[in-house]
Structure 1
């Protein structure tokens, strides 16, 4: 990508977007049903579980304003990156205060960086967005969200070697097509890699439907709190390779200094997503 193009894309840096929502406890109970969790405790006033704020502040554009991949057409809040494939790469979150279900909340979003890199599969553009969720006028959740755009090349089957980790705690989770459908519906996510298998295989080169990156991150955040017995303070996660429907996921945790390393592994032992949690 030329310098002129990158200069153009960086014109989106600093543009604000503000949204407001109510953290509906009913919507949270639907998420619990999707994950096979008890619903009875998710009542008005209950603490919002970590990363469940992704169920809210949903953008409902008409189909005419969506791109080929099912995402909103580019050039609105996000810069019009010309590379065709978009992925949820990772992010860092700070939890400064708990937020109760059924609370009125506000989200302030700003593009903070646009970077060009050369990867094994070709050109990459990383766009980082800062989201701040406010409750009572104070920032309760601060999130730097990394989005990567890449060329239309087949996904790599393996990632570069990762740090060897030995799990102290593990649990298994088997997503089904119903799981993916429900999570897409709960987050109003139109990305076709999660429900259109022909598009998956013929356009983006995956062997089957792709399990949502944010769903994996949500599983990791919940497991981190479960093994630590404490609420999260900081959570940094990174997608390493896609999780594909049909694979049972193993969610793992190991003590890492004062915090915990948590990761999703695939049946062949490779890591799909890795995160570090502190409390």
Structure 2
């Protein structure tokens, strides 16, 4: 496939802005999804990572692509590769979001890079989100989105060794209900998270795919639980997919200046790795 990378790099510097009030009702749905509790009153601090549920694209159903994502073009470059996933991210937290405030996100395309992977061409799009809450700088987030070719079998790391068990460890039941709830929270129409026949027949996966952002959210929650306070910086990277065919674990291990975290299914390789710093 010929990919005009110079054309795609013309999207570098493009911006879009979304704003949405952060309500106690949304916090309640977020907490219910993750089996957590917190104040729902105006002025209270909202849970970290809830910004991923705000200001999401609202393309009409008729403008969605076959995978359930909005059709290519517009803010994101029209990469011709058919499969899109969130590969990695980095967050710096400056101040908490607060219930009752309007959260504003300014998104900027920072880079578009074409690489060659084991399965063919890979196109990486880097987006930086600048998030404000009530006109205060709240967080800065970098997202690395990867586009790849369709293939008969799903990508993974079958030769990777089984993940170790962390000193702090939690088990998560990867149910279709959990995946559906998180898709609904984030208004995410990507069919790999809820449409089993599409996921199996079109993308080559054995089951529904566990969201990368949801794994990242759970790992940050574990970091907050271990240290007693949310981190100031959180970096993560997806290494292999998780599916609803197996439960998975959240793991944490202390390091000299950070907390190392990862997800994995039983006897499986590391799926997502992360580091939290305070």
Structure 1 residue 147: Cα displacement: 0.4
**Residue 164 of structure 1: how far off its partner (Å):** 7.0
Give the drift of 1:220: 0.3
8 Å contact 2:237–2:272 — kept in the other structure? yes
Match of 2:66 in 1: 68
Match of 2:243 in 1: 244
Cα distance in structure 2, aligned partners of 1:237 and 1:72: 25
Please, what TM-score do these two structures have when normalized by structure 1?
0.94
CA contact (8 A) 2:263 2:271 kept: yes
Contact 1:165-1:254 at 8 Å conserved across structures: no
Counterpart of 1:105 in structure 2 is: 103
- The answer on whether the counterparts of 2:207 and 2:244 sit within 8 Å (CA) in structure 1 is yes
Quick one: which of 58, 70, 93 aligns to 2:91? 93
Confirm or deny: 8 A CA contact 2:156 2:239 kept in the other structure: no
| Offset from partner CA, 1:151-179 (integer Å, 9 cap, x none) | 00122342564797551110111121111
SS across alignment from 1:271: coil
- Extract unaligned runs of 5+ from structure 2: none
Maintained 8 Å contact 2:169/2:250 = yes
Listed one character per residue, the Cα deviations across residues 47-93 of structure 1 (whole Å, up to 9, x for unaligned) are 22221110111222111111110000010100000000001111000
Contact 1:175 1:245 in 2 (8 A): yes
1:236–1:275 contact (8 Å) kept in structure 2: yes
Could you say which residue in structure 2 is the equivalent of 1:82? 80
Matches within 5 A, 1:141-152: 141-152=139-150
Shift in alpha-carbon separation, 1:152–1:164, aligned structure 2, 3 A? closer
Change (3 A) 1:14 1:248: same
- Partner of 2:271 in structure 1? 272
Equivalent positions of 1:5-24 (< 5 A) are 5-24=4-23
Figure out how many residues of one structure are paired with residues of the other and give that number: 277
Q: What is the match of residue 135 of structure 1?
A: 133
Q: Which deviates further from its counterpart, 164-173 or 238-247?
A: 164-173
Q: Which moved more, 1:134-143 or 1:13-22?
A: 134-143
Within 2, Cα distance between the matches of 1:160 and 1:27?
A: 41
Contact 1:159 1:240 in 2 (8 A): no
Q: Is the 8 A contact 2:132 2:138 kept in 1?
A: yes
For the aligned residue pairs, the C-alpha RMSD in angstroms reads 1.7
Match of 1:219 in 2: 218
User: Do the aligned partners of residues 37 and 230 (structure 1) sit closer, same or farther apart at CA in structure 2, a change above 3 Å counting?
Assistant: closer
Which position in structure 1 is the counterpart of 2:31?
32
For the residues of structure 1 that align with 2:269 and 2:181, how far apart are their CA atoms? 26
Partner residue, 2:208: 209
Relative to 1, partners in 2 of residues 1:166 and 1:55: Cα closer, same or farther, differing over 3 Å?
same
Mapping of residues 165-180 of structure 1, within 5 Å: 167-180=166-179
Report deviation, 1:257.
1.7
Deviation at 1:103, TM superposition (A): 1.1
Query: What is the DSSP-based 3-state SS (H/G/I as helix, E as strand, rest coil) of the residue aligned with 1:142?
Result: strand
Separation in 2, partners of 1:32, 1:240: 27
**Cα distance change on mapping 1:269 and 1:94 into 2, 3 Å:** same
Q: 1:33 to 1:271 in 2, by over 3 A?
A: same
